[in-house]
Structure 1
Amino acid sequence: MHNDRLIDPTTRHTTDPFPRQEQEPPGLTAPMSPQPDHGEQSYRGAGRLNGRRALITGGDSGIGRAVAIAFAREGAQVAISYLPSEQADAEETAVWVADAGRDALLLPGDLRSEEHCADLVHDTEAAFGGLDLLVLNAAHQRDRGGIEQIPTDDFERVVRVNLFAPVFLARAAVPHMPAGSSIITTSSIQGFDPSSSLVDYAMTKAALVAFTKALAEELGPRGIRVNAVAPGPIWTPLIPATGWPDHLPGFGRDTPLGRAGQPAELAGAYVYLASDDASYVSGAVLPVTGGRGL
């Protein structure tokens, strides 16, 4: 007997090939075709994060926007870190946070700056009266034609955004985070099954796993949990801004589910790890990969 409430994950979102398209980094949502689904119409909150105070890096678009919407609908106050060039995306995310009855704190700036990372923590605490959810999500990647073709300046950008910034932010935040707080990093399938064309990005995502596990061991006795989410191929502005337009028609089609994921399909993983439902989960890496193994 067929159950009409079941949703086939292979067809829940489009399986059509993505059209060729390209943007300059960091990429914006408006030019994307098709538009990503961040859960604007689908995510339903249940009060699992009532009273929590969250800072989300890269919260303007993609996975970060989906997490911001979900956290707000679960009752959290949300601060969003983003680049000034992403202002339009950040303002759109703020509209959805406000729709959930929460005010979004918009904090533009460059995460490569140690001082800015410290300011992010200070400004969030000042606005919300504290900080107990830290989502280290922002990242930069570019297609690499080979190891001899990696520009030093862009390599430094990858490392500073993907690795230095999480250290800067955690270092600033941890002394102020009470027991019951949660830190969540965004790793990647690339940290476990790297592509040669993303060698430097994959390096940083593997390092984030080590960072997550080591920090979980350190902070466990203080009642602070640290976990990671490892997305697979997810349709975010990062993808058309990577520099591989010819790869897009096949993007995500090599997964067992046969399609790329949407940001909305990540939100529940972050909510779970942030909530008391995961009170005995720390040092874990939760894969959301369409069936690709870590």
Structure 2
Amino acid sequence: MVTGGSRGIGAAICTLAAAHGHDVVVNYAHDAEAAEQIAEQVRQRGRQARTVRGDVSNESDVKHLFDAAEDLGPLTALVNNAGISGNRPARLDEQDVETVRRVLDVNVTGVFLCCREAVLRMSTRYGGTGGAIVNVSSSAAGRGSPGEWVHYAASKAAVDTLTYGLAQEVAREGIRVNGVSHGLVDSDFHATAGVPDRAQQLGPGVPLGRAGRPQEIAEAVVWMLSPAASFTVGAILQVNGGR
């Protein structure tokens, strides 16, 4: 299951996971057509796919999402990719409380709700056979994103802490929990935030000299889900071009 799987990094994760043998549930919030296009790409790679609409910050939506996923069989992997910045870049004292609450609801509460449902299904404590969870974070968590999205950075720092703590709780129950923390990526995340050229403007300042591509983040996520990462627990893998 990939939350926020209809676009950007999430879409790249869905199609690459299919290429590595996973059936995929593509979660989306609004754009059903885009989600179905990604599902069709999964099917073209010989795997099953289902699209499920749902707001990850809504408990009933999340329960429906996980129940619907059972059509494809037992859940073996969850990627918490859904995330928002809330608005255009601005200082913290220019933010309104409703925007900040919405960002925390999606980016933090959403990860909590999805992790909880996944554990209830995958943990050997509850009769499951194990699995893997990857939480998609951001290098903003370490930089703080001053003058842009301090609230977003704080939400991703919370995701990193949740990732490490949950990993300790469920490692002996057959579930590996890890994170992938990406840097500047050339995706429609920036257009949604009202700054479509942000990746092009800031890319030259990355030590590698460019913004990342969604596929590059997807490679790290799918590796974390694979048996090749079987001894990797509670790690936050930095995929950020050096920044």
TM-score normalised by the chain length of structure 1: 0.77
> Is the partner of 1:67 in helix, strand or coil?
helix
1:101 to 41, 46, 52: 46
CA distance in 2, matches of 1:76, 1:247: 33
Following superposition, the deviation at residue 179 of structure 1 comes to 4.1
TM-fit CA distance, 1:103? 2.5
In structure 1, stretches of 5+ residues that fail to align are 1-54
1:147 and 2:92 aligned: yes
On the 8 A contact 1:144/1:199 being kept in 2, the answer is no
Q: What is the Cα-based RMSD across aligned positions, in Å? A: 1.4
Distance 1:107 1:231 in 2: 25
3-state SS of paired residue (1:135): strand
Higher share in helix: 2
- Give the C-alpha shift of residue 245 in structure 1: 5.0
1:161 aligned residue: 106
Query: Aligned residue for 1:227?
Result: 178
1:182 to 111, 129, 132: 132
Aligned to 1:129: 73
Higher gyration radius (CA): 1
Aligned residue in 1 for 2:159: 208
Cα offset for 1:246?
6.5
Displacement of 1:108 = 1.0
AA aligned to 2:192 is A
Task: Report the identity percentage.
Answer: 36
CA shift for structure 1 position 109: 2.2
Q: State how 1:258-269 maps to structure 2 within 5 Å.
A: 258-269=209-220
For 1:260 and 1:144, locate their aligned partners in 2 and report how far apart those are by CA, in whole Å: 18
- Provide the residue aligned with 1:49 in structure 2: none
Structure 1 residue 275, shift from structure 2 partner: 0.7
**3-state SS in 1 of match to 2:208:** coil
Gaps of 5+ in 2: 123-127
State the match for 2:125 in structure 1. none
* Deviation digits for residues 249-276 of structure 1 (CA, Å, limit 9, x no counterpart): 4132211110011111112211111011
> Are 1:57 and 2:8 an aligned pair?
no
- The answer as to whether partners of 2:133 and 2:177 remain within 8 angstroms in 1 is yes
Cα deviation, 1:165-197, whole Å, max 9, x if unaligned, reads 111111122121034400000010101112111
The 2-side partners of 1:247 and 1:132 are apart by 36
Aligned residue in 2 for 1:13:
none
Alignment-mate amino acid for residue 140 of structure 1: I
Q: Does the 8 Å contact 2:186/2:199 carry over to 1?
A: no
1:213-254: CA deviations, max 9, x gaps? Answer: 000000011121000000111111111111235745413221
Whole-Å separation in 2 of the counterparts to 1:89 and 1:188: 24
Task: Name the structure 2 match of 1:170.
Answer: 115
Higher RCO (C-alpha 8 Å, min separation 6): 1
1:101-147 CA-to-partner distances (Å, cap 9, x unmatched) read 1232100122221110111111112x122101010000010334222
Query: What's the CA shift string for 1:4-26, capped at 9, x where partnerless?
Result: xxxxxxxxxxxxxxxxxxxxxxx
Give the alignment partner of residue 77 of structure 1, picking from 20, 23, 26.
Answer: 23
> Which residue in 2 is equivalent to 1:88?
33
How does the TM-score come out when normalised to structure 2? 0.93
Helix, strand or coil: the match of 2:191? coil
